[in-house]
Structure 1
């Protein structure tokens, strides 16, 4: 009833899952991720205990293949289970029980595992693998996962149709304000085009929560400081540039993009359009 990819970023710092299904709120059931440890996707007749148990095994030092063997070996209903696992290093691993509904199967390799059941055909998994392998390693893991999920959706996806999708990525200190490891957590729980919804949501997430590239920052001085100060004052935010900018950015939910004494071009563009 589901197709998913679990994967690790090229630098090894991010781990995540992207999943879609003709199933309500698939993001509440399938994915689990723990920064610096690994990612798990449990599906078909999902055993939700695979999520904490799989992450605990990874944290204890087991590799992905050993985790899959342990989870399924201890499960009397393994014939109707499907699971994908990726650890902080090494190959991913995937398992499809013989009782999963056709088409069902998966593939795995260095840093990824892809699996699906009740699919339009093997081309879904093949398209996802091709998209993953062709992805730019310099892109964010969230973008690469979504590209693979989009490829699977375009290749037919769940043969019953579309309903929900989710994207979950963890990285140490990668969350809001650096106080959380949840880098991306987006869901479309009930929609006719859930993968497309994720695309829109990820774009908004990148706008609001991606920290700026230091190489693109502009010095907040001279004419630029005068312009920014005047624009902020016109919007009711007065004072020296950094303080006024922080006041306005907090209202606009752009605070993650602030750097004292400098301004992110994305923030400047937003201010000029305000």
Structure 2
């Protein structure tokens, strides 16, 4: 089956993180295209995709192969290589984009410093050009948002000429995954959606909220404590009055609410809360 899509593989020069961003008119593209391993590389395999390229390519990079060496290995082992397309970036920032001669037009890729952008069955070359130019330009953005912004630019330039359906974002960094126990710290997938990139952006914002530790906190104001006590009372978590004092009973009830909302990474106790957590709770429970 043709995985007609556009993708970007890249390395963050500041952190060494590696990522793949991909979008397509294809169900659950994130289950087929993106592969990455911290301190090794990232690969996107598409257009009659060979998913073995992911594990094989990463194993070769881990052994010290160059991107060109990986391509030659694929050429020796895959008789259908000319129907394939893939992009690759190593942990050293070496990049390669390959488009087989039998890929459906328009198909091609662009390689830049630390990244490779590619696509097939696209509206035209302007799609990958927009993706590459945007990624190269948006250096002030955090790496995951930079990858997503590049996809959005490709979509705006025409994207997959068949339409849109799914998208995915995979970012790895040594010890940055859940609990510090693995490398995959962002692995978001939109499998079937009329606006997959907008939904992927929403998921990335939610990921930031739930899994990032806040950089700054402030004490809750009395009116915020009163509102919060009312919310907690309505949820059956707090039996007292809404008096505006952040006492022990309020803190225990608030900790229970934090657990219900999966916000443990952002709050572990005390009267101080970060703005992102507070904004989320106000929106969720109707600040007034």
Band the TM-score falls in, shorter-chain normalisation:
0.7 to 0.9
CA distance in 2 between counterparts of 1:164 and 1:250 reads 31
Task: Report if the CA contact (8 A) 1:211-1:257 is conserved.
Answer: yes
Structure 1-normalised TM-score? Answer: 0.88
How far does residue 177 in structure 1 lie from its aligned partner after superposition?
A: 3.2
The gaps in structure 2 that reach 5 residues or longer are: 239-246
Q: Specify the alignment match of 2:193 in structure 1.
A: 191
Task: Report if the CA contact (8 A) 1:92-1:111 is conserved.
Answer: yes
How far does residue 212 in structure 1 lie from its aligned partner after superposition?
A: 1.6
From 83, 86, 95, the equivalent of 1:80 is: 83
Note closer, same or farther for the CA distance 1:270–1:164 as it changes in structure 2 (3 Å cut): closer
The gaps in structure 1 that reach 5 residues or longer are: none
SS, match of residue 50 in structure 2: coil
Q: Specify the alignment match of 2:217 in structure 1.
A: 217
Greater mean deviation of Cα atoms: 63-72 or 28-37: 63-72
Task: Report if the CA contact (8 A) 1:67-1:85 is conserved.
Answer: no
Superposed CA RMSD in Å reads 2.3
From 6, 11, 24, the equivalent of 1:8 is: 11
Aligned length: 267
CA distance in 2 between counterparts of 1:10 and 1:94 reads 19
Q: Specify the alignment match of 1:248 in structure 2.
A: 257
CA distance in 2 between counterparts of 1:35 and 1:243 reads 39
Q: Specify the alignment match of 1:38 in structure 2.
A: 41
From 273, 283, 287, the equivalent of 1:263 is: 273
From 38, 60, 65, the equivalent of 2:63 is: 60
How far does residue 258 in structure 1 lie from its aligned partner after superposition?
A: 2.4
Q: Specify the alignment match of 1:165 in structure 2.
A: 167
CA distance in 1 between counterparts of 2:175 and 2:228 reads 31
